């Protein structure tokens, strides 16, 4: 049996240009420990949080040196003699934060979740971060019913695309705000019916779309004046949830919306939810999302896939503000037909 050629991404410093600090290196796999399985990584996305981790701007930073990547899926290719719960060939969800931009990982079998077979691993690889973020923001803050409206900006982001699909499955209407006209067609192609470009007159145009129906929930990933533009679209007593600052600016919102309109501004970070959720709650969310992906009811736009030899180009593409889809790594080569 030929030894496995293992490779992984590596960074030992952080800096303002994320692709400059990361590279791909060879490494040797140790003997497989008891209770562990060896997993060949099939696909692992590059999320905004991954880019911010490389620049040092994210809320949690791993100690250096580190391997890139926070989520992904792999296939079990070897198991210790005492492992009985995972058969060879099983596709598994990789634990959050385990350094997924690598060809191989040795992981405790008890921490792995088996996933449906016969499903595109590129789509499954994005299961852990963006779909739960969209689902939880849609369900945890406001009790929305079929026919209700929700407005979001950054609608061309991965979270935005998932939110459109999840809302539609629940009979909830969405107003989808983007920052550039060139993004409108891609958002509509993902299933969004109402897409508008952000501007000072956003509330007027939103009112024309909804016919004046109340909007109880707004979801903001931009910050800056975009936060207030969403707040102006909300009904009295509405809730605005922020989960990012793509503008690089703090949320700007006049006190009058808090005082006279009783608007509530909340924050959402999936890592905090993970800390508080029970294992049963986490499994329920992952189970619902995995089922929808397997059934073809939930997917993300993918702009391009890369191998590890092109990690710098992949990170640069992921950091670009003009993307119309996700950047995904396939560390062992194209895997879509491999399951």
Active site residues: 58
Please answer whether residues 230 and 153 qualify as being in contact, where contact means their C-beta atoms are separated by less than 8 angstroms.
Answer: yes
Phi–psi pair at 279, nearest 5 degrees: -55, -35
Distance CA 94, CA 71 (A): 6
Q: How far is CA 234 from CA 18, 60, 153, 159, 241, in A?
A: 37, 32, 13, 21, 12
């Amino acid at each position: 049996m030929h030894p496995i050629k293992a490779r992984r991404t590596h960074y030992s410093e952080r800096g303002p240009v994320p692709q400059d600090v990361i590279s791909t290196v060879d490494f040797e796999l140790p003997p497989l420990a008891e209770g562990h399985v060896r997993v060949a990584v099939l696909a692992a996305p590059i999320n905004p949080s991954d880019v911010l981790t490389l620049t040092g701007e994210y809320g949690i930073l791993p100690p250096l040196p580190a391997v890139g990547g926070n989520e992904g899926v792999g296939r079990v290719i070897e198991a210790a003699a005492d492992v009985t719960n995972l058969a060879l060939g099983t596709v598994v969800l990789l634990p959050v934060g385990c350094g997924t931009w690598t060809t191989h990982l040795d992981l405790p079998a008890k921490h792995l979740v088996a996933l449906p077979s016969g499903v595109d691993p590129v789509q499954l690889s994005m299961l852990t971060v963006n779909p739960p973020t969209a689902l939880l923001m849609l369900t945890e803050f406001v009790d929305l019913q079929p026919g209700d409206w929700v407005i979001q900006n950054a609608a061309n982001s991965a979270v935005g695309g998932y939110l459109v699909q999840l809302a539609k499955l629940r009979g909830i209407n969405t107003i989808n705000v983007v920052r550039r006209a060139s993004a409108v067609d891609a958002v509509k192609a993902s299933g969004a019916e109402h897409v508008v470009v952000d501007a000072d007159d956003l509330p007027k145009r939103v009112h024309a779309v909804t016919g004046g129906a109340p909007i109880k929930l707004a979801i903001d990933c931009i910050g800056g004046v975009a936060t207030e533009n969403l707040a102006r679209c909300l009904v009295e007593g509405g809730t605005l949830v922020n989960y990012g600052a793509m503008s690089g600016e703090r949320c700007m919102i006049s006190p009058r919306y808090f005082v006279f309109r009783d608007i509530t501004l909340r924050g959402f970070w999936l890592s905090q939810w993970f800390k508080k959720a029970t294992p049963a709650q986490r499994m329920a969310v992952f189970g619902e999302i995995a089922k929808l992906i397997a059934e073809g009811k939930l997917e993300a736009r993918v702009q391009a896939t890369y191998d590890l030899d092109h990690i710098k180009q992949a990170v640069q593409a992921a950091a670009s503000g003009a993307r119309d889809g996700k950047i995904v790594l396939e560390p062992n080569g194209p895997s879509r037909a491999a399951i």
